[in-house]
Amino acid sequence: MSTPPDAQRMEKIVSLCKRRGFIFQSSEIYGGLNGLWDYGPLGVELKRNLKNYWWQVTVHERDDVVGMDGSILTHPAVLEASGHVEGFSDPMIDCRTCKAHLRADQLVEKKGVKQCPNCGGKDLTAPRQFNLMFETHVGAAADESSIAYLRPETAQSIFVQFKNVLEVSRKKLPFGIAQIGKAFRNEINPRNFTFRSREFEQMELEYFCRPEQGMELLEYWKEERLKFYANIGIPSTKLHVLTVPDEERAFYSKGTYDIEYDFPFGRQELEGVAYRTDYDLSQHQKASGKSLEYFDEETKQRFVPHVVEPSAGVDRTVLALICEAYSEDQAPDEKGKMETRIVLRFHPRIAPIKCAVFPLLKNKESLVSKAKEIVEILRPHMYVFYDESGAIGRRYRRQDEIGTPFGVTVDFETLGEKDAALRDTVTLRDRDSMKQERVAIQDLPAILRDRIA
């Protein structure tokens, strides 16, 4: 059963994202642009860590996948062949009472009568098709001949470059081409913070195979993708695999799964894993007149490969990571009084900052210089943050709130002032348990690397 929406939790998350520099509304000082978001200093780190980890496990750790980076501006012929020019649209309805523009599936039905979800109005226009692609012009002439589109998915450039990549990589089936990049959709109702945006990033893999391998590979990739989410700290209890029913699947797909996550605003799609048959390559082969066939040297057969596609949203996964990490607990303040602590319990692998380094006091030069030395030791291994301002407890809280998993404090023991045996040791604090242990400075890089990996 899906958990009930928790609007209050979502409000706290949105406010933390702004307050601490994860996500800002785009063009905010001009009133904002709906459905568009900017990532701040911490958001960009989180996003980058997610993309790097996806690339590491999808491309670098495999022999059967290579990457590419296609252009965003797309030739109209590509999107005509793929069906996007004609069919990538949502039916749209206007409410004549409150003037809301709505997707047809957002209407509410009461006693068999469709109503506007905003004002309850029943005076609605007939549905009309609204294409979700952003159109632009390439070159000086703004006419029919210069139309280009901002790509609505990264996948099409992979299909269009299939032959080139196959030739240069010399891969044999089954093999995949991966891409991370921006996609654009003029969504009728962007909502739920970054969940449905007009500009977003995708992490897509097109895994080409023989027709007889398609169904098996669909299962394989579904399982791989579930493992991925577990490895970035999204528990399996919050993930759900929906088998998309026949009538809702694209006509060319022989099987599609949606991987859904329990967001505070309800259970929603994070990723689609689809067996798309040979539809895409066949369409481009037909439209371009260029062969996109694969020649099997062993069987001497020539055929258009089939494809299984795991397609994940970067922004949706970032949002799921933040929602999953957000927690509040009770912890003692400087005077031992219990207070509410906000903690982002990110998996260390994706946490924006891995380790914060603090001198116990900022006005004691020997503590400060030792702490700065430690920053230099750790910097080649991870993203480190140095902070000397305010009481140490406050500094810990600031890092808890942005999800930094480890804190290193340089104190008088580090200088060997109390006990010579403790010289060049520091306290290492764990964000979640708040426990501190004493470790030698020289062991820090290995200990931290091990806990972050």
Q: Which of 232, 390, 380 is nearest to 319 (CA)?
A: 232
**Contact set with ligand GAP (CB under 6 A):** 153, 155, 185, 187, 196-197, 200, 202, 204, 269-272, 309, 311-313, 315-316
Considering the complex, what minimum distance in angstroms separates the CB of residue 84 from ligand GAP? 10
- DSSP H or E stretch at residue 266: strand 266-277
The C-alpha angle 111, 113, 118, rounded to 5 degrees, equals: 105
User: Which CB atom, from 174 or from 272, has the smaller least distance to ligand GAP?
Assistant: 272
Q: Which is nearer to ligand GAP, 312 or 325 (CB)?
A: 312
How far apart are the C-alpha atoms of 263 and 347, rounded to whole Å?
A: 18
| Rounded least distance, CB 316 to ligand GAP, Å | 4
- For tokens 């006091």, the residue is 361
What the block records as the tokens of 100 is 């809301």
Q: Which two tokens stand for residue 216?
A: 């098996």
Closer residue to ligand GAP, CB minimum distance, 270 or 304: 270
For ligand GAP, give the closer residue by CB, 197 or 213: 197
How far, in Å, are 105, 173, 249, 267, 444 from residue 439 at the CA level? 58, 50, 55, 43, 7
Min dist CB 351 to ligand GAP, Å, is 22
Report the alpha-carbon distance of residue 238 to residue 267 in Å, rounded.
9
Give the nearest distance from C-beta 312 to ligand GAP in angstroms: 6
User: 329 with 345: CB under 8 angstroms?
Assistant: no
**Phi-psi sector, 149: left (phi>0), alpha (psi -120 to 50), beta:** beta
Instruction: Report in angstroms how near the CB of residue 132 gets to ligand GAP at its nearest.
Output: 8
* End-to-end CA gap in the chain: 34
CB of 258 to ligand GAP, least distance (A): 7
Q: Pick the closer one to ligand GAP by CB: 2 or 301.
A: 2
Nearest residue relative to ligand GAP (C-beta)? 313
Nearest distance from residue 183's CB to ligand GAP, in Å? 7
Q: What is the 3-state secondary structure (H, E, C) of 381-421?
A: CCCEEECCCCCHHHHHHHHHHHCCCEEEEECCCCCCCCCHH
Closer to ligand GAP by CB, 185 or 349: give it. Answer: 185
CA distance linking residue 87 with residue 371, whole number of Å? 59
CA angle, 193 as apex, 339 and 6 as ends, to 5°? 50
Nearer to ligand GAP, 305 or 407 (CB): 305
Q: Dihedrals φ, ψ of 152, to 5°?
A: -90, -10
Report in angstroms how near the CB of residue 96 gets to ligand GAP at its nearest: 27
The least CB distance from residue 196 to ligand GAP, in Å, is 5
**Are residues 12 and 327 in contact, defined by beta-carbon separation less than 8 angstroms?**
no
Say how far apart CA 249 and CA 387 lie, in whole Å: 52
CA–chain centroid gap for 16, Å, is 18
Decide whether 83 or 393 has the Cβ nearer to ligand GAP. 83
Q: Which is nearer to ligand GAP, 204 or 262 (CB)?
A: 204
